[in-house]
Every structure is written in structure tokens, then in C-alpha cells.
Amino acid sequence: MLFDRSSSKPVNKGTILQREGDTHLKSYVVVKGLLRSYIIDAKGKEHIYMFGPEDWIVGDLQAAFIQGPTKLFVDALEDSEIIELEPAKEITDEMARTGLEKAIRRVGTLQNRVLMLMSATAWERYQFFLEEYPDLYNRVPQKMIASYLGITPQALSRIRSEWAKSIT
Amino acid sequence: MLFDRSSSKPVNKGTILQREGDTHLKSYVVVKGLLRSYIIDAKGKEHIYMFGPEDWIVGDLQAAFIQGPTKLFVDALEDSEIIELEPAKEITDEMARTGLEKAIRRVGTLQNRVLMLMSATAWERYQFFLEEYPDLYNRVPQKMIASYLGITPQALSRIRSEWAKSIT
DNA sequence: TGCATTAATTAACCTAGGTGAATGCACAGG
DNA sequence: CCTGTGCATTCACCTAGGTTAATTAATGCA
């Protein structure tokens, strides 16, 4: 899956690229840096849906495809370089093919995540994160890792300190 | 999304259509009846990944696409009529288009599920199930609903009895 | 450089939901 | 018609992780 890297544009850390309710959704190819997508639930709590380090594609595939409003926010956790993929009026055969591949890769990621969330303890979830995003554990604040795992920052801190003890 | 319903074949309740480790994976269009897919985790526990009532497509999209082995089992919870979609050697433009639509629909379902699993209490999960599969609550045993929600049958029983009390 | 804000840690306490075990039901097979 | 097996329910008990709050460590930012 190749993109024209010369057309990438810079976004500063903290920039919000997509908000809940937005339509005409783009997708974002991360050339450099780090994006994330997240929701804010009915109780006002933030839940990270996915991280987007280099080479990942971030966006709401589903809402973009059906041209409905999204529930997901997207913002930049680091100064980044991204390529914006415009929403298509007309889907070409070529687009369907590359889109299929992207969508299926996403299904795989989500499938693992669902199975993980249904069966894993907090400690196992942390292991899962370390495998899924090996280079992120010291790039993102722990409260965000916790949010991604569906646990509190305190619980994550506990896990890490027990783990540190266990290897002494 | 139309299929040739005349080519459907019957499967008996209890038939296992796909096992962990299988390759050359088919997808199954449910014409009538009910399938489910599930995993068995490292501790030997069964977790239902999705139900497949009428008009749903069941299978491991990801593993089928990359032609790897699956982690998912698929079996029939009722006597059913299904259409088997063979794994494709060559993906035509037409297949890419319909496949894209299926994959994206699946992404949407999984996205909701992830967000639900990360933020919802057992009671909220049950509500979610009732909305997602309105006609299934009295078609599948409660222990399977519990397995789908990621809670124990006892917890589901508690929820239901509290709910029954609350409407008295 | 200092001040203000946010992140991480730790500890005490609480609660939702898990575990194990007992009981009653339902229905499948002989 | 009986009997076994598995499902649902209920209860007592337990524990992982949530909550609240205080303390310290980082990280802006002026």
C-alpha cells in the first residue's frame, strides 16, 4: 500500500483533526509522528480506540463509507506528518481493492481487541499493548495507555510496580 | 448484497463448520437459522465473538483474506440453511466491491463492541445485546449471552432478576 | 528560573462481578 | 416413565480493579 509521501502535511501536537459529529470524513495516513482516535462516552470519560503511529491509517472507516457522522475524535499526540485521504464521491475498482485490504486489516486488529477485552485481566491487557505497539510504551503518557486498555491509570501503575518487583 | 438462495444447504444444530487452526476458510451466509463464532482461550474458556442470525455473514474475514489459520470456531446453534462462500483464488473487481462493503460493515459492528466493552457495566452490556440482536434473547441460552457479553451466567442472572424487580 | 498545571504513584477503602456450591427444572435418551 | 445431564437461579464468599485523596515528580510556559 503506497502513498505519495511528497504530499504529506505537518500537524502540530494537539491539533484536533476530527470531532464527534463530523461528516465528510477523511482518513489519515501517518507518515511520521503519532495520532490517536478516541470517544467521549455518556459519562464524559475518554476512551482511546486506537493509536496511529507511523504507517497506520487513522479514521472512522465505517462512518466515512456510509457518509454518516462519526463518534470518534482524532488528534495528534506528537508533531506529525500525515497524508489526508479525501472522502470519495465515486469508488473506483482500484480504490475498492486497496480499501478492502485496509478494512480487513482493521477487522483483524479489532477482532484481537475484542477477544482480548472479553477475556484478559489488566495485566494481560498491558502485555497485549506492549506487543501490539512495541515502540509506544515510552512515547505516550501512561494515562493514555490505561485509557486504551480500559483500566484506570492507578490500576496500570499498580501493575507496573508489581511487575518491577517481580523481576528484582 | 444478494446471494443465490437456491444454492443454500442445510446444517443441523450442533454441526461445527470451522475449527481453530483451519485454513482454506469459507464464509457462511445465514439464510435461515443461527450460527455463532467463538474462541477457546488459553484457560479453556469459551468466548462468543458473534452470533449469526438470518442475513448475517459468519467467518474469519481476516484469516480468510490473508489465507492463514483461524482462531475462531463456527457452529450452528439451530438447524439452519446457509450459503458457503468459497475462498477466492483470484479476487475480481466485483468481489472487491462487495467484500469492501461487508468488511466495513463488520468494522462498524466491532467498533461498537470495542467501545462497549471498554466502558460499559454488565447491565449496560446486556442492553447493548438486546439492541444489537433484538430477536435473539429468547433463542439462545443465557449462558451464551453471558459469554458474548464477557460476564458469567450468574452475573447475567443477577442482572435479570434485579431488572425484573425494578419493573414490579 | 520559577510557578502552575498535569502526570504518576501510593494507600485506604469500596463494590461489581467472579467463584464455588447447592437446589430446582427441563428435556433427551433408554 | 424414569434418570441423567446440562441450564438457570440463588447464596456466601472473595478479589480485581475502581474511587478518592494525598504526595511527589514532570512538564510546560511566562
Each of the 168 residues of chain B gets a pLDDT tens digit; together they read 566 776 899 999 999 999 999 999 999 999 999 999 999 988 889 999 999 999 999 999 999 999 999 999 999 999 999 999 988 788 899 999 999 999 999 999 999 999 889 889 999 999 999 999 999 999 999 999 999 999 999 999 999 998 877 765
Residues of chain A with pLDDT under 50: none
φ and ψ at A93, to 5 degrees? Answer: -60, -45
Decide: CB of A153 under 7 A of nucleic strand C. Answer: yes
Q: Which pLDDT does position A7 carry in this prediction?
A: 83
Burial degree of B4 (CB within 10 A; 0-12, 13-18, 19+): exposed
Residue A52 three-state SS: strand
Nearest chain B Cα to A107, which residue? B107
Interchain contact A88–B (C-beta under 8 A): no
Decide: B102 and B57 in contact? Cβ < 8 Å.
yes
Q: Which pLDDT does position B140 carry in this prediction?
A: 95
Strands (E), chain A: 9-11, 16-18, 27-32, 35-40, 46-52, 57-58, 73-76, 80-85
Taking the stretch 91-130 of protein chain B, residues with Cβ within 7 Å of any atom in nucleic acid chain C are 121-123
Q: Which pLDDT does position B167 carry in this prediction?
A: 66
Nucleotides of D under 7 A from a protein CB: 7-12, 16-21
- Chain A residues inside the 8 Å CB shell of B144: none
Q: Which pLDDT does position B2 carry in this prediction?
A: 61
- Chain B residues inside the 8 Å CB shell of A65: 100-101, 104
Residue B88 gets which letter from DSSP? Answer: P
